[in-house]
Structure 1
Amino acid sequence: MQRLWLKITGSYLILSITFILVLWFFISSIIQNTYTDMTKEHLIENAQLVSEVITLGGLDEDRETLDEWTSHFDEEITLRYTIIAKDGTVIADTESDIETMDNHLNRPEIDAVLVRNQEIGESVRLSDTHDMSMMYIAIPFKADGEIIGAVRTSVSTKSIDNAISAIWTTLSAILFIILLVSVISAALLSYNITKPINRVINVTKRLQNKDYSARINSDYSGEIGNLNTSVNALAASLQSHVNEIEESEKQLNSILSNLVSGVVLIDDKGKVALTNQATERFLSKHTSKIYQREYNYVFGPLGIDHLIETVIEDNVSRHDEAHLYFPEERILDVHIAPYYSQGWQQRGAIIVLHDITDIRRLEKMRSEFVANVSHELKTPITSVKGFAETLLSGDVPDEATAKQFLQIIYDDSERLNRLITDLLELSKIEKQAMPLEITKVDMKTVIKNSTRTISKFAHDKNITLHLPEDSSPVYVEADKDRLGQIVLNLVANAVNYTSDNGHIYIDVEERSSKVVLNVRDTGMGIPEESLDRLFERFYRVDKARSRHSGGTGLGLAIVKHLVESHEGEIYVKSTEGVGSTFTVELPKTQE
């Protein structure tokens, strides 16, 4: 803004100087011409006056008197008077000795009046007598109507120049004062103009630096006031829009950050312009290794870079699945679509990544579950059907064999009943169709009551059950029947997989906020590769032995769901040939 102030002041200064110079030359020319004309008129008047005196006084005939009379002019006036006879002889002069003066007939002003008979002769030239520039005016004087001589008046041009110089000095001083006043006025005017503009610029700079609270607080009238009002309105509107944009950006960032699906925006240069945390998690790469990187580098390991290229070049959508194997195996559902800007101009592509690993695993589990259920049902059904057909055909040789067949049919039907009962039970638990009846129960009492059912089977295998001591009760908030079902299934599983003469240890530990149940056996143990799948439905470590023992393969799955319904957790530790330990942690209180 200082430059604008200087420009305005400088421009006004140049304009003022130009105007004053033109005015100065114009006025000085007029004054010089006017003063010269006035001097000329003054010389003419004095010449005419002297001419009349000479004519009226008859001094033309009495040259001595004329010379004496003219000798007194030098004391009173600054003009030089010269009387010249018709033949050019100087008969009187106020400043020089006429004896030393030559004939003046050849002088321009004398030649004009005496030779060419003009009324006035004038010239400005160098004086031969005084060796200086002089202005000469000559007029004739007459006697009886005839020209008898000429009167010449003259003055030094130096006096004219001095007078004009004095006038120029005064004029210059006046014009300088005018120029000074003009410049000061221009400076004040430009300052008053640029000061409010400077405030506007300061506000706009603050707005440029994202300080949207900047406002102009000065009151001005006219156009400056309207400008201030417009800038303030613009700043308020800009602040409102920026707040809306920031709020929208926060919402977008919040949405993108909390999306379980990965979102990636590819710009028209083929670089990643936007991503979210889910994408980082899927690709196991930090944002710095994704943002502003070529899509070939980012998505090359997924094998979808050719799909992105197709979307960008052909302006079509694409869908596919991609597999990742590091750091863990993942299956991603990939949707790629063109990205458009205003005017439907294609600017790149949008990629959406869905993690469908769990879905595929569940689909696999469902497929396996159907296969397992079919297999589990088919075996007893085939057995029942086969023995029933044998009995119906009458090919049974004796009653003992028939009774044996009927016993097999009964046992398989019991197995079918247990399988269907467990499936229904598991289905109800998963659907939460059986709400828990939470009460305060003694864990040791539940263990004692539940193990009575399984004690006969343990006794038949000569397995010793070691129950918790009855020293003090351990209370927990739980569904008594479901808690007993957890204990029963864990102990029954231990009995089934523990060899004869083995031991099963059941103990309860009370902690600050939870109760821990441990069921440890000395059975055959579980291979390490089977521990992660142990709680899956129909999964068996030793399928032949489990099926022979009458197990359905659903007991541990039921236990896991019942524990989780109580907001608890279940763990298993096992060593092959040594035994297994199942640990159940339940909170003391249910919220």
Structure 2
Amino acid sequence: MKRLWFRIASAFFILILLLTVILWFILAALLKNAYTDVTRDHLIENAQMVTQLISASESYDEREQLQELIKNFEQPIQMRFTVVDTEGVVLADSENDPEKMNNHFDRPEIQDVLQQNETFGESIRHSTTQDFNMMYVALPLVSEGETVGAVRSSLSLGIIDDAMDQLRFSLSIALGLMFLMAAIATTMLARSITRPIDTIMNVTSRLRRKDYSSRVSTEAKGEIGDLSQSINALAASLQSQMKEIEENEQQLTSIISNMVSGVMLVNQDGKVTLMNASMEKFLSQHKDNLIGQPYEKVGERFALSPHIHAVFETNEKVHEEVHSYYPHERIMDAHLAPYYGQGWQQCGVIIVLHDITEIRRLEKMRSDFVANVSHELKTPVTSVRGFSETLMSGEVTDEETTQQFLKIIHDESQRLDRLIRDLLNLSKIEKQEMPLNLEPLNLTALAHEVSVTLQGAIEEKKTRLALPDPSRDVYLEGDEDRLRQIILNLVGNGINYTAEGGAVKLSLKEDTNNVRLIIEDDGIGIPEESLPRIFERFYRVDRARSRHSGGTGLGLAIVKHLIESHHGEIEVESREGEGTTFIVTLPKKQEDS
């Protein structure tokens, strides 16, 4: 495109050159014809003059007198005059001796006059006597009404050739100057046309390279100006559309990237073309290792391949629940559907996976919770109802047995009261309806106060309880009642699940920001498979022993929520038959109460 001006200029150069050459030949021919016509007329005029002189002098019959008359025209004018009779014999000549000259009857111009009776005869030929081309014009010589001979005038064409050469040179100079000026004008015109076109082409090239900010800057008018405005309007429209597409693409990418559901796209060739971060997490592989792979390889983990194949075959949506057991169990709600391109042509399959593992776990927990609450309530209610009905029947008359039944009813009612109270407290804690009353606390002193509350259980089981050094104060910010309940539950569990004569140790450790409360016992321990579930409501490792100990199965669940309300964490380490260690980490300062 950068040489378009050169091609345009070259085309005009060639056209102008052809026109100039043609014009040169035409003008040269016209000038030569014009010059020849002028020369012919001049020869005729002079021949007529000589004819009139001969007629006036009546010297036709006197050859010597005629020769002298004709000889007088040798120098004044550059013409040659020859007089012949009707037989072609030369009677007189202005340049040569007529006696030595050949008969001229065969000359074309002489024959035209003497034989053809033309008013004049004309001929151009090479003169043997003069040795160059000559133009001859002959007129009849008339005496008393009869043709008695002919007068011929001739002129060398060398004069015409010299004049024509001069004219051709001048004409060449003039036409050359015209061609040069036309070439310069053509070049300027081509450049003026192609310069805005070059600008337009540069802009379109930048648009092709996705530089949509480029615009045509030209002052061209007419069609070029209209084209420039159209290109600028097109560029502005493209820039607006591409900006909108990029924004939509960024929004779509952000949405897909931040979706908790896994998204994967399989093209018509069965290759994976798109995958978000959640899908990478579900498949436990980076997308760089999966993009471009066949869906049979990628979908084998959740057994998705048959479902993808079914969508390709039936072109219908599929909704299934799929499972994976490595590295741990996952339950996925899988939605598969075809996606379409232009003309509603199927382009592949889109797969969306929702992780419902936690939902299923919570559903199971809820089901277990309902079953446990029903079971926990059923046992004391059954006992109270049974013993009360026995007493009401009047069948028991023994005072000692009556008191025993009443004590059972009383104990079971207290158990019901504790169960209901724990459920209500747990519900309030979860709903954050029990705000913390924060104040600076000495955790060492609080641990010693709790030990006094548990003194009866300690003495009953002859448990050795080790407490922190009372002289070493450990302070933090917290709710005294809630922290007391945490220590009471954890230490109480340690005593309850430790064999008679066992040991429970409560220790405190602190750093710059946190305090660690550690409760260790050498009791029965917790099986490894039960560790993840001990903080669930009503979950018991040993149901018979837990119920016998008077627990409701909600203590550790309450402890966990109370610790979390203090922005803390609880960990457990245990080996069955060797003991259990609870580690509670609490911040010294409650920044967000």
TM-score clears 0.5 = yes
Alignment-derived partner of residue 10 in structure 1: 10
1:140: how far off? 0.8
Rounded to whole Å, the distance in 2 between the matches of 1:374 and 1:412 is 15
1:269: how far off? 4.7
Matched, 1:366 2:366: yes
- Cα deviation digits, residues 42-93 of structure 1 (max 9, x gap): 2222221222112212232121122233334333333332221111111223
Alignment-derived partner of residue 116 in structure 2: 116
1:294: how far off? 3.9
Instruction: Provide TM-score, normalisation by structure 2.
Output: 0.91
Alignment-derived partner of residue 206 in structure 1: 206
The 5 A counterparts of 1:388-427 are 388=388, 399-427=399-427
- Cα deviation digits, residues 318-370 of structure 1 (max 9, x gap): 22222223333222212233434566555444332211111111112212222
Residues 305/65 of structure 1: CA separation in 2 closer, same or farther (3 Å cut): farther
The 5 A counterparts of 1:118-517 are 118-130=118-130, 132-216=132-216, 219=219, 224-312=224-312, 314-341=314-341, 346-388=346-388, 399-517=399-517
Rounded to whole Å, the distance in 2 between the matches of 1:285 and 1:76 is 120
Residues 309/80 of structure 1: CA separation in 2 closer, same or farther (3 Å cut): farther
In terms of mean alpha carbon deviation, does 38-47 or 403-412 score higher?
403-412
Rounded to whole Å, the distance in 2 between the matches of 1:450 and 1:218 is 91
The letter for the 2-side match of 1:417 is D
Q: What's the secondary structure of 1:477's corresponding residue?
A: strand
Q: What's the secondary structure of 2:326's corresponding residue?
A: coil
The letter for the 1-side match of 2:416 is L
- Cα deviation digits, residues 95-132 of structure 1 (max 9, x gap): 44433432221222111111121111122334344454
Alignment-derived partner of residue 55 in structure 1: 55
Residues 278/10 of structure 1: CA separation in 2 closer, same or farther (3 Å cut): same
The letter for the 1-side match of 2:40 is K
- Cα deviation digits, residues 531-578 of structure 1 (max 9, x gap): 222212222222332222222222111111111111100011123333
CA contact (8 A) 2:263 2:279 kept: yes
Rounded to whole Å, the distance in 1 between the matches of 2:50 and 2:484 is 159
CA contact (8 A) 1:101 1:129 kept: no
Rounded to whole Å, the distance in 1 between the matches of 2:220 and 2:85 is 83
Residues 46/270 of structure 1: CA separation in 2 closer, same or farther (3 Å cut): farther
Alignment-derived partner of residue 104 in structure 1: 104
Alignment-derived partner of residue 45 in structure 1: 45
The letter for the 2-side match of 1:564 is E
The letter for the 2-side match of 1:32 is K
The letter for the 1-side match of 2:37 is D
Q: What's the secondary structure of 1:536's corresponding residue?
A: coil
Alignment-derived partner of residue 24 in structure 1: 24
1:457: how far off? 0.8
- Cα deviation digits, residues 572-591 of structure 1 (max 9, x gap): 11233332111111111222
Alignment-derived partner of residue 78 in structure 2: 78
Rounded to whole Å, the distance in 1 between the matches of 2:69 and 2:378 is 171
Rounded to whole Å, the distance in 2 between the matches of 1:572 and 1:381 is 34
- Cα deviation digits, residues 487-510 of structure 1 (max 9, x gap): 110011001111111111112223
CA contact (8 A) 1:263 1:353 kept: yes
CA contact (8 A) 1:136 1:155 kept: yes
The letter for the 1-side match of 2:483 is L
The letter for the 2-side match of 1:465 is L
Q: What's the secondary structure of 2:246's corresponding residue?
A: helix
Identity percentage over the alignment? 52
The letter for the 2-side match of 1:282 is F
In terms of mean alpha carbon deviation, does 146-155 or 93-102 score higher?
93-102
The runs of 5 or more residues in structure 2 that have no matched partner are none
1:382: how far off? 4.0
1:517: how far off? 0.8
CA contact (8 A) 1:468 1:508 kept: yes
Q: What's the secondary structure of 1:76's corresponding residue?
A: coil
Residues 273/59 of structure 1: CA separation in 2 closer, same or farther (3 Å cut): farther
The letter for the 1-side match of 2:486 is I
Residues 258/152 of structure 1: CA separation in 2 closer, same or farther (3 Å cut): same
The letter for the 2-side match of 1:586 is L
Q: What's the secondary structure of 2:75's corresponding residue?
A: helix
Q: What's the secondary structure of 2:469's corresponding residue?
A: coil
In terms of mean alpha carbon deviation, does 34-43 or 244-253 score higher?
244-253
Rounded to whole Å, the distance in 1 between the matches of 2:56 and 2:152 is 17
The letter for the 2-side match of 1:439 is E
- Residue-pair matches, total: 591
CA contact (8 A) 2:369 2:538 kept: yes
CA contact (8 A) 2:499 2:523 kept: yes
Rounded to whole Å, the distance in 1 between the matches of 2:144 and 2:300 is 133
Q: What's the secondary structure of 2:432's corresponding residue?
A: coil
Residues 46/338 of structure 1: CA separation in 2 closer, same or farther (3 Å cut): same
Residues 328/44 of structure 1: CA separation in 2 closer, same or farther (3 Å cut): farther
Rounded to whole Å, the distance in 1 between the matches of 2:165 and 2:108 is 28
Rounded to whole Å, the distance in 2 between the matches of 1:22 and 1:165 is 17
Rounded to whole Å, the distance in 2 between the matches of 1:198 and 1:369 is 80
Rounded to whole Å, the distance in 1 between the matches of 2:148 and 2:331 is 139
The letter for the 2-side match of 1:248 is N
- Cα deviation digits, residues 183-228 of structure 1 (max 9, x gap): 1011112222222333333333334334344345555555555555
Q: What's the secondary structure of 2:468's corresponding residue?
A: coil
Residues 495/245 of structure 1: CA separation in 2 closer, same or farther (3 Å cut): same
CA contact (8 A) 2:332 2:357 kept: yes
Alignment-derived partner of residue 561 in structure 1: 561
CA contact (8 A) 2:199 2:217 kept: no
Rounded to whole Å, the distance in 2 between the matches of 1:64 and 1:464 is 183
Q: What's the secondary structure of 1:136's corresponding residue?
A: strand
Rounded to whole Å, the distance in 1 between the matches of 2:312 and 2:574 is 55
In terms of mean alpha carbon deviation, does 193-202 or 476-485 score higher?
193-202
Rounded to whole Å, the distance in 1 between the matches of 2:421 and 2:294 is 58
The letter for the 2-side match of 1:298 is V
In terms of mean alpha carbon deviation, does 36-45 or 220-229 score higher?
220-229
What is the root-mean-square deviation in Å for CA atoms of aligned residues? Answer: 2.7
Rounded to whole Å, the distance in 2 between the matches of 1:46 and 1:326 is 129
